[in-house]
Structure 1
Amino acid sequence: MKNLFEKTQLGNITLKNRFVRSATWENMTTEDGHMTDELYKIYKELAKGEVGLIITGYANVVQEEQPNPGMMGIYNDSFIDEYKKLTDLVHKYDSKIVMQIAYGGTKTKYNVGQRIIFAPSEVPERGTKTLGKSMTKEEIDYIVDAFAKAGKRSKDSGFDGVEIHGAHTYLINQFLSPYYNKREDEYGGSLENRMRFLIEIYSKMREMVGRDYPILVKLTASEFFDGGLTFEETKIICKKLEELGVDGIEISGNIHGKAKSMVGQSFDGYEIKKEGYFFEYGNIISNEVDIPIITVGGLTNINNIEKILNETNIDFFAISRPLLTEPNLIKRWKDGNKEPVKCVRCSKCRTANGNYCTIFNK
């Protein structure tokens, strides 16, 4: 019987348990993305709270592209020393930490009109209605290079690995999506072409960080609407990433804040679950690839998580909002208090003064 609190491997990262803090935008950096005392404190509390692997809030790979205020940056070498302080702090408590890097693209309403926002094609993002600039080949190469350099900076900063954000309608996801990607060059049309941008990012990053440095990818299980990326396509992408040498895949959804209302609905033949929204999708993928799969979304009850662990091939369980409410949640569960999470998933944690629980931590 598998145990949630046993040592496990994710690539060459040895983790003390199977719990992951999924990337959570904290909105607490300086204006240009640098660390603050408040942010160091958050990560210290997570590490003290026995989270096995912490994935940072997403960090922008080019300075001019900031989809949200207060988000971390990794767009030049000025971040390396302060991130060394961060990684040393987390390692002191025997937790591991991975930097998530992203290009947000049109999934934003922040400073729209004041900057150029890249997109694969001129198709407005369904939620924000933001329209981006269809990228030239030179601009694609520029962003590929920026991702790769951000991966190298993550390694130089002492992070245990890096996660490429390819989900949630951010730029990489849009290249993968037939709805957003209407290109007629080598980056559009067939799934093979739509994968090219992600594969180029991964391949160039791998050249820069070396074979042994863990690279994870976060993907959308399905776009959950007609004409979008399907689960069948996502399975093919996962198999290709395994073939290329990706160390692990986090399977999420593409329905920010809506998953709870969609529980019980089926897409691509599988159901969004009340406990672990997307774990059915993750389980199918875990049976088709031989690299670790992380499931994220709607995990609230340790007994149910343990059941999923022992009835599927999913290896890791990522939690976000409940850790805003209880940064010591994993330690609480480990110490024997197995009450479900306090978080009520009200999404009121996003405030102008930073993202924190406004219900229990006023």
Structure 2
Amino acid sequence: MSIVFSPASIGTMKLKNRFVRSATWENLATDTGHMTEKLYAVYEQLAQGDVGLIVTGYANIVAEEKPNAGMMGMYDDSFIPEYKKLTDLVQRHGAKIVMQLAYGGTKTTYNLGERVIFAPSAVAERSTQTLGKEMTTAEIDYIVNAFAQASLRAKLAGFDGVEIHAAHTYLINQFLSPYYNQRKDQYGGSLDNRLRFLVEIYQAIRKQVGAEHPILVKLTASEFFTGGLTFNETRQICKKLKALGVDAIIISGNNHGNANTLIGQSFDGHTIQQEGYFREYGAVISNDIDIPVITVGGLSDIHAIEDLAATTNIKFFALSRPLLAEPQLIKRWAQGNNNQVDCERCSKCRTKRGNFCVVFKPRKPSSGLRTRIGQR
């Protein structure tokens, strides 16, 4: 059997294969971020489809910060029992589940004017033009602690680990970026200073969850524009995070929904690929560090994934949109059916009624559950 269907580990978390459902904003939680029956059905169907690891849609860590409608929450203890139901549901099918935690910041146009949005500096986000409030050190401490407490709740709810979202121009990514971070204090300037916020978040989480509980970090390979975070800096960040004890790193991009428009273009000496947008960046980092590297974005061909597994040190392969159309895709591949995936990469999956494939009806597992999901 292909290596991609063989067991592997992330820290103490043992996975049945190398496939990851990447963090996905489903837009199906309640207004306050609580679970719904549709959302439970999404995750059960994914687990039935033999995905090795499921990363949840991003969850907000403080009640007052919500970058998108219908997103999950983990900002107080009321979430623990309903997420325990979720983790039990997933794990009974042999899958593992990690909660992605995030502070969105200015990468949003949702409910502007109704809330204070933190940012490292008074620099508008390039795609949304949203301007945030430059954080005080007390506010930084507040968010660091919120990440830690949310991670502890996730552990108590039975999650197999947590993922820190430090990519996609969300708050942590902005602290890392020399474009967005114009601070003159200990959190700005040098790369070590810009990294300090993420390091403090990681250390606070580790203190709460213990040495053995897996912590993953999602990073942007490069910001792909002049003055932004470079790939060389990301490589240095990965080495520092490995030294601190991070269990795995997900290498993504900063082109939400637009990476396909950059296919064939080169940035920082590497090229955006048709199959696996950021694979070249992930391959380099997988040689830099000896913890698992996960590549995400534009993966949909099993043969290309198998080639990546055979020719690079990348250990895990994350998909989102292909699983919108086919939640049973991994099981189909494992059974030897390597026909072209249903997903057309049309990016029509974000709707006002939730995020789901509008082109194909998901193939039903034996339980008859349906799914609605969309990439995050």
- Give the structure 2 partner of residue 53 of structure 1: 53
Residue 309 of structure 1 aligns with which residue? 309
* Aligned match of 2:295: 295
User: Which deviations, in whole Å up to 9, do the C-alpha atoms of 1:224-254 show, x marking residues without a partner?
Assistant: 0000000000000000000000000000000
Post-superposition offset of 1:2: 6.2
1:228 aligns with 2:246: no
1:129-208 matches, cutoff 5 A:
129-208=129-208
Give the secondary-structure state (helix, strand or coil) at the position aligned to 1:195.
helix
- Give the secondary structure class of the aligned counterpart of 2:179: coil
Q: Which runs of 5+ in 1 are unaligned?
A: none
Match of 2:369 in 1: none
Q: Which runs of 5+ in 2 are unaligned?
A: 363-376
**1:251 is matched with which residue?**
251
AA of the residue aligned to 1:15: L
How far, CA to CA, are the matches of 1:200 and 1:58 in structure 2?
A: 20
What is the aligned-residue identity percentage? 67
The 5 Å alignment of 1:107-122 reads: 107-122=107-122
Letter in 1 for 2:242: E
One-letter amino acid of the structure 1 residue matched with residue 11 of structure 2 = G
Contact 1:107–1:127 (8 Å) recurs in 2: yes
Q: Which amino acid aligns with 1:219?
A: L
Task: Verify the 8 A CA contact 1:2 1:310 in the aligned structure 2.
Answer: no
Amino acid at match of 1:246: V
Equivalent position amino acid for 2:27 in 1: N
Q: Is 1:98 equivalent to 2:98 in the alignment?
A: yes
Q: After superposition, give the CA deviation of every residue in 1:97-150 in whole Å (9 maximum; x if it has no partner).
A: 000000000000000111000000000000000000000000000000000111
Q: Give the TM-score normalised by structure 1.
A: 0.99
Match of 2:216 in 1: 216
What CA distance in whole angstroms lies between the structure 1 residues aligned with 2:248 and 2:71?
24
One-letter amino acid of the counterpart of residue 174, structure 2: Q
Higher relative contact order (CA 8 A, sep 6+): 2
Distance in 1 between the 2:261 and 2:342 partners?
19
CA distance in 2, matches of 1:356, 1:114: 28
Aligned partner of 1:38: which letter? Answer: K
Equivalent-residue separation in structure 1 for 2:87 and 2:176 (angstroms)? 32
C-alpha deviation, 1:361, in angstroms: 2.3
Aligned equivalents of 1:145, 1:162: Cα separation in 2: 15
How far the C-alpha of 1:261 sits from its partner, in A, is 1.2
Alpha-carbon RMSD: 0.9
What is the distance in 1 between the residues matched to 2:10 and 2:202? 17
For the residues of structure 2 that align with 1:2 and 1:348, how far apart are their CA atoms?
32
Which residue type is aligned with residue 244 of structure 2? L
CA contact (8 A) 1:2 1:309 kept: no
Distance in 1 of aligned mates of 2:345 and 2:184:
41
Query: What's 1:334 paired with?
Result: 334
Q: How far does the alpha carbon of each residue in 1:143-170 deviate from its partner, in whole angstroms, 9 at most, with x for none?
A: 0000011111110000000000000000
Match of residue 283 from structure 1? 283
The residue type paired with residue 231 of structure 2 is F
Match of 1:354 in 2: 354
Aligned-pair CA distance for 1:309 = 0.4
Give secondary structure in 2 for the equivalent of 1:294.
strand
Match in the other structure for 1:320: 320
Residues of 1 paired with 2:300 and 2:50: CA distance? 17
Instruction: Measure, in 1, the Cα distance between the counterparts of 2:257 and 2:339.
Output: 24
Does 1:268 pair with 2:292?
no
String of CA shifts for 1:284-323, please: whole Å, max 9, x gaps. Answer: 0010101000000010100110000000000000001111
- For residues 12 and 292 of structure 2, the distance between their equivalents in structure 1, rounded to whole angstroms, comes to 12
Matches of 1:124 and 1:142, distance apart in 2: 22
SS in structure 2 at match of 1:229? coil
Where 1:192 maps in the other structure, the secondary structure is helix
- The residue number in structure 2 matching 1:20 is 20
- Please say if residues 23 and 57 of structure 1, whose CA atoms lie closer than 8 Å, have aligned partners that are also in contact: yes
Give, as a single letter, the amino acid of the residue that structure 2 aligns with 1:75: Y
Counterpart Cα distance in 1 of 2:116 and 2:69:
16
Cα deviation for residue 276 of structure 1 reads 0.4
Instruction: Look up the equivalent residue of 2:220 and give its one-letter code.
Output: T
C-alpha deviation, 1:257, in angstroms: 1.3
Deviation at 1:74, TM superposition (A): 0.3
Give SS of 1:35's match: coil
Which SS does the other structure have where 1:333 is aligned? helix
TM superposition shift of 1:339: 1.4
- Residue 346 of structure 1 deviates from its aligned partner by 1.1
Q: Distance in 1 between matches of 2:192 and 2:44?
A: 42
Residue identity matched to 2:224? F
Q: Which amino acid aligns with 2:207?
A: E
